[in-house]
């Protein structure tokens, strides 16, 4: 399927705005932040115009809760439906991003392509409309099918931007209890988007508590839209994301809760899935985080370069993580040339074996080689390659301005 939105570029622009929002937020609050959400904004059901951000602190929730309790009439309908006051307060006052006290505008769309304007940020107040005086993307200019595709692609870019932001706050103890999510308020997409994005972005225990308090119901609702959403996230993540709880164990945000053997099994299954795809005829590619997560096999990558005194397994991972966080780098993959059987007891001490690396970047070859110098690779070829020879088989498409470089050791 041809994409309407350039996911990498859009997510990078959203990420820039998230960073500004977060810097402003943390400079002003004196109470722990418990929720942060990106919000797709619409002027009307047919105008999809901007992306905002919102956040709430425990103090903000306490103030909203006390204000709600002072007006018993707000809960009359809930009582007739058998919903307790506490359940309603948790769902609406604690977890509705539109009610949160800190609101930002991240950027708006330009007609007719859906590209972002230059990122901008300001705090919403009662005198200003959140989407005042901004160009709108009128969905009526698209067919019903592309309307749906457009919004789901934007939802995916929002989620990817948040995923890319999380490592920058991972070491901050105050962020360890924050729930991250995306939403499209007052629409049929809000429930599945909040559910799927929160599941993708948060550890399981944190997600489960959020989902229970938010009051989610039918997990299969809007399955066609959520399926496309997961498909786009899978393209970005480098592994297949399936619906439901089980598949989310492969998510970087949740994989830490799995046992080591489960992580190895999931990696092997993803590699074998790619081997089975007829249209995917290059070496299997997995995101470097998945390859290194709980990897115990020092011989699984650059085994023939030990004499060069390159970093050990943990050192290679740290260096690739540094490179992946460069603003000029979109993705870092590990290519696999040999994979053990999932259940072969003789192979349980063997991790899938890497052929080399693929880096997706806007950097030139010499600049990338400089960034990779600590790893002392023997070659850095432009393009998708295998053993120093240019690939002739189909490979994933790159967005404009990005190049793929294949890196390896002789």
Angle at 265 between CA 262 and CA 266, to 5 degrees: 85
What's the CA gap between 308 and 294, in Å, rounded? Answer: 24
pLDDT < 70 regions, the chain = 1, 42-49, 74-83, 107-144, 170-175, 216-223, 238-261, 277-282, 385-396
* DSSP-derived pairing of the beta strands 137-138 and 353-361: unpaired
CA–CA distances in Å: residue 274 to residues 93, 101, 176, 284, 353: 44, 45, 34, 6, 15
pLDDT at 255: 43
Of the candidates 15, 291, 293, 48, the residue with the CA atom closest to the CA atom of residue 148: 48
Angle at 407 between CA 268 and CA 365, to 5 degrees: 145
pLDDT at 76: 66
pLDDT at 309: 83
What's the CA gap between 241 and 287, in Å, rounded? Answer: 13
Sheet with 403-408, strands from edge to edge, namely 285-287, 329-338, 353-361, 403-408, 379-382
pLDDT at 367: 94
Chain mean position to CA 378: 32
């Amino acid at each position: 399927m041809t994409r309407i939105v350039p996911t990498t570029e859009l997510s990078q622009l959203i990420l820039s705005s998230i960073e500004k929002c977060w810097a402003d937020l943390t400079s002003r609050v004196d109470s722990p932040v418990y929720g942060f959400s990106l919000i797709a904004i619409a002027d009307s059901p047919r105008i999809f115009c901007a992306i905002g951000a919102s956040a709430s602190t425990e103090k903000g929730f306490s103030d909203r809760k006390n204000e709600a309790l002072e007006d018993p009439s707000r809960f009359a309908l809930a009582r007739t439906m058998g919903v307790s006051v506490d359940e309603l307060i948790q769902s609406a006052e604690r977890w509705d991003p539109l009610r949160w006290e800190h609101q930002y505008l991240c950027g708006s769309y330009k007609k007719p392509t859906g590209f972002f304007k230059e990122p901008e940020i300001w705090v919403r107040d009662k005198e200003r409309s959140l989407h005042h005086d901004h160009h709108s993307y009128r969905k009526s200019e698209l067919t019903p099918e592309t309307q749906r595709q457009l919004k789901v692609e934007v939802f995916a870019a929002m989620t990817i931007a948040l995923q890319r932001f999380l490592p920058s706050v991972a070491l901050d103890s105050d962020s360890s209890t924050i729930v991250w999510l995306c939403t499209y308020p007052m629409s049929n997409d809000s429930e599945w988007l909040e559910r799927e994005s929160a599941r993708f972005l948060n550890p399981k225990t944190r997600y489960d508590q959020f989902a229970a308090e938010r009051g989610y119901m039918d997990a299969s609702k809007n399955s066609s839209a959520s399926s496309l959403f997961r498909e786009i996230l899978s393209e970005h993540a480098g592994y297949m994301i399936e619906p439901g709880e089980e598949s989310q164990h492969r998510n970087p945000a949740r994989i830490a809760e799995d046992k080591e053997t489960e992580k190895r099994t999931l990696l092997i299954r993803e590699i074998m899935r790619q081997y089975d795809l007829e249209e995917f005829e290059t070496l299997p590619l997995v995101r470097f985080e998945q390859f290194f997560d709980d990897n115990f096999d020092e011989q699984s990558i650059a085994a023939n370069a030990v004499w060069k005194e390159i970093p050990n397994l943990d050192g290679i991972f740290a260096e690739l993580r540094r490179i992946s966080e460069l603003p000029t780098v979109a993705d870092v993959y590990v290519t696999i040339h040999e994979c053990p059987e999932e259940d072969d007891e003789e192979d349980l001490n063997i991790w899938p074996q890497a052929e080399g690396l693929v880096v997706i970047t806007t950097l030139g070859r010499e600049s990338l080689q400089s960034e990779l110098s600590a790893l002392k690779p023997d070659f850095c070829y432009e393009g998708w390659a295998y053993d120093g020879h240019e690939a002739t088989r189909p490979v994933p498409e790159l967005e404009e301005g990005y190049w793929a470089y294949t890196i390896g050791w002789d």
